[in-house]
Amino acid sequence: MIQASTKVPVIHLHIPRTGGTSLRHVLENHWGKAVKIANWREFRALSEREIEQAILISGHFRAYQLERPTFAKFRTIALLRDPLARVMSSYRYGFHRAMNKDDKKIDDAMRFAAKTTFLEWFYSLYGIDRHAHLYMLGVNADEQRYDVPLATLLERARARIDRMIRSE
């Protein structure tokens, strides 16, 4: 457990639809403004200097990227959520965003959610996001996320979570 009185550098691995934005706000109240990462490519592009200066990094990236030696001083935090509840939330989020015509950040998956049932969306290519937590935690640098069996991703995800827990 990270003590509230410390300023240990923290990396927040934000898995979509798990409450990560709320957690980031809580973390920022103690650690200060986070270096926000939109995706794994942005995370990869962080310079050694940016990492050295950071006290809080938060965003969407892949767990294997934390194996870079520069991140050894950081503690890792991630929220996990029941996979079915997470994917249902993803569908509802997309559906409601697409129904809001003023929202400029509507993608094809959201538009599809707005015109179909949950079940049809879930089994579509857009619903494939239902395994995002496994991709983020289990994929390696040299792999495409859809080319790795789910059992392999799960095994790696468990191992990486165990390492995160043991690093405390």
- Per-residue pLDDT averaged across 127-145, rounded? 78
Does residue 14 register a pLDDT over 90?
A: yes
Does residue 86 register a pLDDT over 70?
A: yes
Q: What is the pLDDT confidence band of residue 121, given thresholds at 50, 70 and 90?
A: confident
pLDDT for position 3:
57
- Per-residue pLDDT averaged across 21-28, rounded? 95
pLDDT in tens, 34-68: 999 999 999 999 999 999 999 999 999 999 999 99
Share of the chain above pLDDT 70, in %: 91
Q: According to the 3-state scheme, what is the secondary structure of 22-74?
A: HHHHHHHHHHCCCEEECCHHHHHHCCHHHHHHCCEEEECCCHHHHHCHHHHHC
Q: What is the pLDDT confidence band of residue 25, given thresholds at 50, 70 and 90?
A: very high
